[in-house]
Amino acid sequence: MGCQLPVGVFDSGVGGLTVAKEIMSQLPGERIIYFGDTARVPYGSKSKETVTEYSRQIIHFLVSQGVKVVVVACNTASALAVDTMREEFNIPIIDVVGPGAHTAAQATKNGSIGVIGTEGTIRSGMYNKYIYNLNPDLNVYGKACPLFVPLVEEGWIYDTVTHEVARRYLSDFQGKNVDSLVLGCTHYPLLRNLIRDVVQEVLGAGVTLINPAVETARCLKQLLTGNDLLSGSEDVPEHTFYVSDSAEKFRALANSILPCNVIETKDVAIKTFE
């Protein structure tokens, strides 16, 4: 019975834990195997070829751990690698861009949507493609915000410097009349309070912030239900966290994001999956 198998979740680092958190909340019986590629973080500035190769290696690793489904909890990998991965692997793969685009298309009232993300995600235009596919009348404006990830990692979450950086990036949407803004990088929900305030300042009231994690977890639930793969367990599962580097640092950050305490993280030598 595949339903007792774990759910594989991966990200370039710690950001995907915002997706893991949402899965734990919506699917509390599912056991998660998380992989954070902390040795090669960030993905946002890297090419399609490199991000695809890294994703391939990690999905191989997760499959070797016996997962029943893979959640790509990284917008850059979702935008650049997921199509190729779905061709190469025989396991269901859920990404975050599709669900994020779906939520945005439903949320907008005036048809004008903003997307913020890494260089790789924005340059790929994947949010635009998904949203146009859902409704070709919608307008999508993208803006890369490369300093947000290092600012989160520096811990300057609600800070005057981060505020000024956000003001500069988000002013790019002035005059575009967006009423929905997709947080198109899994690190960004950690900045949501600051982003909400800056959006109000530079774009006015009435802009909805969209965190793709919520819809991603909902898609996962549908997929597991549809394939009769829900664990149905009522015990609190023991999740496992693998990283490719700096397990200690990862654990500290993980404990500040997740609703449960991460007791142990396992350092996986990169060689084992290359």
Among 85, 93, 122, 151, binds a second copy (CB under 8 A): 151
Query: How near is the Cβ of 188 to a second copy at its closest, in Å?
Result: 15
Structure tokens of 56?
A: 């391939």
If one asks whether residue 157 binds a second copy (CB under 8 A), the answer comes out as: no
Output the furthest CA–CA distance in the chain (Å, rounded).
54
If one asks whether residue 228 binds a second copy (CB under 8 A), the answer comes out as: no
If one asks whether residue 154 binds a second copy (CB under 8 A), the answer comes out as: yes
Q: Pattern 230-259, binding to a second copy, x per CB under 8 A?
A: --------------xxx-------------
CA 152 and chain centroid, separation: 15
Query: How near is the Cβ of 118 to a second copy at its closest, in Å?
Result: 12
Query: How near is the Cβ of 146 to a second copy at its closest, in Å?
Result: 6
Sequence-distant (≥ 6) Cβ neighbours of residue 92 within 8 angstroms: 68, 69, 70, 223, 227
If one asks whether residue 187 binds a second copy (CB under 8 A), the answer comes out as: no
Structure tokens of 72?
A: 């790509």
Which one of 153-161, 180-188, 196-204, 209-217 is the stretch in contact with a second copy (CB under 8 A)?
153-161
Catalytic residue ranges: 74, 185
Nearest CA among 98, 48, 102 for reference residue 76: 48
Distance linking the first and last C-alpha atoms of the chain: 30
Strands 7-11 and 32-36: parallel
Contact (Cβ atoms closer than 8 angstroms) between residue 19 and residue 75? no
Among 168, 174, 225, 227, binds a second copy (CB under 8 A): 168
Interface residues for a second copy in 22-51 (CB under 8 A)? 38-41, 45-47, 49-50
Q: Pattern 88-127, binding to a second copy, x per CB under 8 A?
A: ----------------------------------------
The helix/strand/coil state of 172 is helix
Q: Which residues pair with 243 in a beta bridge?
A: 36, 267
Nearest CA among 252, 238, 213, 250 for reference residue 35: 250
Residue whose CB is less far from a second copy, 219 or 268: 268
Residue whose CB is less far from a second copy, 35 or 130: 35
Binding-residue total with a second copy (CB under 8 A): 27
DSSP string, 177-233: --SEEEEESTTGGGGHHHHHHHHHHHH-S-PEEE-HHHHHHHHHHHHHHHTT-----
Query: How near is the Cβ of 35 to a second copy at its closest, in Å?
Result: 15
Residue whose CB is less far from a second copy, 179 or 197: 197
Which spans of this chain sit near a second copy (rule: CB under 8 A)? 38-41, 45-47, 49-50, 53, 146-147, 150-151, 153-154, 160-161, 164-165, 168, 244-246, 270-271, 274
